[in-house]
């Protein structure tokens, strides 16, 4: 992906957008726990949430609809929170070009392959995966994508249940078709016991996502509580069709936190507008889920 940071002028414009986004009103909730509620739509689709926390589903639906206003035609998201048994989806089955968020899938496929072959990662693989995740290095990703092979990537998608993900053609991993729903399936696998990724693989992947370089820690971490351990991977890609693709995956653990989100967007005129779109939704999610712990 081009670049590894947002220009200074873009940051100033982005700060103004986010300041406005942080002033979104938290709506009072009056629905039974676990219920979903009717409401406005964004881009003709409805944000749908369920929760065991009283009123949380209603609050998230309303606040996310507000955050996505004007961006609904070109955005999608999915989230889970195990603490409150909360889920939300918005166009979670819509396909997007992956850009670099696919690198978490590449990492998962390598770790699964190594486990099946009863071996540890080589020093070369450690160096490549570290560069791929923490710095979003494309050369490292190219090397691993070709090493694992199309069959290896597809095998991981099959065992992970990521049925809506289609690997990019002719080695073009950034053009892999992904959905927010499948990305959240992957985040769930990284954060709970399962038959796909063992404890060592999950710990390794999360450690790398926690060490992403500071200039790439935008997106899902926006508004995250200081008590959470943040794991993130972002992707950004300008295309002739659908403009800038800007995506963010985030997992939040530790100190009572156990949730994750995937926020995808395309059709952005600039990268910074895409970041603002993703972060407006992420701020709502981080705020509303953590308000629930003190309400």
Specify the pLDDT at position 18: 38
Place of tokens 């890609």: 237
**CA–CA dist 237, 216 (Å, integer):** 14
Q: How confident is the model at residue 285 (pLDDT cuts 50, 70, 90)?
A: very high
Higher pLDDT, 222 or 1: 222
pLDDT value of position 163: 98
Structure tokens at 202: 């999950």
pLDDT of residue 25: 32
Tell me: pLDDT of 98 over 60. Answer: yes
For residue 187, pLDDT over 50 is answered with: yes
Backbone angles phi, psi at 84, to 5 degrees: -110, 10
pLDDT band at 141 (very low <50, low <70, confident <90, very high): very high
pTM of the model: 0.86
Q: Do 243 and 271 meet the contact criterion of CB atoms below 8 Å apart?
A: no
Say if residue 31's pLDDT is above 60: no
Q: Cβ distance 35 to 68 under 8 Å?
A: no
Neighbours of 38 (CB within 10 A): 7
> Kind and range of the H or E element at 232?
strand 229-238
What is d(CA 146, CA 32) in angstroms, rounded to the nearest whole number?
A: 50
Please name the residues in contact with 289: beta carbons below 8 A apart, sequence gap of 6 or more: 56, 60, 81, 83, 84, 86, 259
- At residue 293, the pLDDT reads 55
- What pLDDT was estimated at residue 276? 96
- pLDDT at position 40, please? 66
Q: How confident is the model at residue 21 (pLDDT cuts 50, 70, 90)?
A: very low
The secondary structure of residue 197, as a DSSP letter, is S
CA dist list (Å): 2 to 98, 115, 235, 264: 14, 33, 10, 18
């Amino acid at each position: 992906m081009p670049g590894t940071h947002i220009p200074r002028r873009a940051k100033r414009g982005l700060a103004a957008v986010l300041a406005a986004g942080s002033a979104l009103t938290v709506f009072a909730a009056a629905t039974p726990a676990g219920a979903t509620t009717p409401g406005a739509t964004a881009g003709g689709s409805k944000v749908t949430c369920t929760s065991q926390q009283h009123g949380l589903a209603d609050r998230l639906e309303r606040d996310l609809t507000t955050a996505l206003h004007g961006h609904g035609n070109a955005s999608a998201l999915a989230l889970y929170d195990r603490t409150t048994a909360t889920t939300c989806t918005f166009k979670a089955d819509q396909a997007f070009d992956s850009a670099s968020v696919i690198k978490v899938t590449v990492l998962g496929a390598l770790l699964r392959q190594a486990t099946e072959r009863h071996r540890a990662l080589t020093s070369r693989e450690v160096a490549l995966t570290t560069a791929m995740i923490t710095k979003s290095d494309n050369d490292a990703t190219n090397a691993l994508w070709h090493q694992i092979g199309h069959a290896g990537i597809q095998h991981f998608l099959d065992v992970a249940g990521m049925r809506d993900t289609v690997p990019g053609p002719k080695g073009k991993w950034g053009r892999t078709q992904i959905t927010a729903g499948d990305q959240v399936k992957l985040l769930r696998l990284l954060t709970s016991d399962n038959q796909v990724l063992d404890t060592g693989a999950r710990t390794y992947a999360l450690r790398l996502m926690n060490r992403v370089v500071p200039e790439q820690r935008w997106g899902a971490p926006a508004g995250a509580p200081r008590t959470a351990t943040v794991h993130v991977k972002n992707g950004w890609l300008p295309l002739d069709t659908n403009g800038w693709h800007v995506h963010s995956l985030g997992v939040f653990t530790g100190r009572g936190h156990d949730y994750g989100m995937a926020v995808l967007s395309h059709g952005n005129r600039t990268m910074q507008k895409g970041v603002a779109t993703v972060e407006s939704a992420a701020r709502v999610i981080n705020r509303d889920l953590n308000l629930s712990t003190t309400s």
